[in-house]
Amino acid sequence: MKKSLLLATALSVASVALLGACQQDNKAVLDKLAAIDKRLENIEKKGIGGGGQPQRPQRPAPDPTKTYAVAVDDAPVIGSPNALVTIVKAYEYACPFCEKARPTLQQIHETYGDKVRVVYAPFVVHPQTATLPAQATCAGHRQGKFKEIDELLWEKVFKARKFEEETILALGKDVPGMDAGKYATDLKSKDCEAWVQKHMQSLSMLGVGATPAFFINGRFLSGAQPFPAFKTVIDEELKKAEERVAQGTSADSYYRTWVVEKGLKKLDAPKP
């Protein structure tokens, strides 16, 4: 009975933590639940003495106060290359919270203009439906058409709930100036499969396990947060960046110098 109650409490805490985000599913979820179950068994074996309370198992996550070295090489970017604030969005096309965050990102672009850019990094949590759309962004990006393909994926795939291969392949014919044949070939290529996996592995090393997840100049923000939550971090990072540029850092190298080179390369190991 005690174990069942503790497990229910732990799962409730985990669910609350993931409000506003789509959690990675299938085997990953089962593995996480098994790990929680095992830790609870260890708690029961050791016993709780002196009126102490059991420690609730928590899923390791990036520390919002730290800066993480999120790579942006070969990822699609919307915004100025000289932007002093870079937002990396980890997302997929089967997650309603990712779609919900789109107006907020548009508001950020309208508010900050060339001071902020957004980098789009695929992170598939629903592999059966979201893998091919992620590869479609790779195919579109290869022709400089990421923005157009992204719009179509939301409008004609996500909103219509049409994740079939035929629908996604047809998008290549709907983008002016796109080579539809090359798009179709790239979409199912090993290169685009590897491109998606590379970004997922990089983000996983930094503790990402749900979408959407954001890194604002390397600082973590989880879920489909409202505009004020983004604004607080953006303003703090923008102020630091402007000071550093005034001291000699070039705008076009700011992210590489202060985030990629100086940031944490992986998630800190959880304390025992």
Over residues 145-183, the pLDDT tens digits come to 999 999 999 999 999 999 999 999 999 999 999 999 999
The per-residue pLDDT for 171 is 97
Residue 58 pLDDT greater than 50, yes or no: yes
Residue environment code for 42-61, b if the CB has 16+ CB neighbours within 10 A, otherwise e: ebeeeeeeeeeeeeebebeb
CA–CA distance, 186 with 178 (Å, rounded to integer): 12
- CATH number for the domain whose boundaries are 77-260: 3.40.30.10
The per-residue pLDDT for 71 is 92
State the average pLDDT for the chain: 86
Q: pTM (2 decimals)? A: 0.81
The per-residue pLDDT for 57 is 52
User: Would you kindly state where each structural domain of the chain is located, as residue ranges?
Assistant: 2-46, 77-260
Task: Express each pLDDT in 10-23 by its tens digit.
Answer: 443 344 344 578 87
The per-residue pLDDT for 78 is 97
**Residue bearing tokens 């068994």:** 41
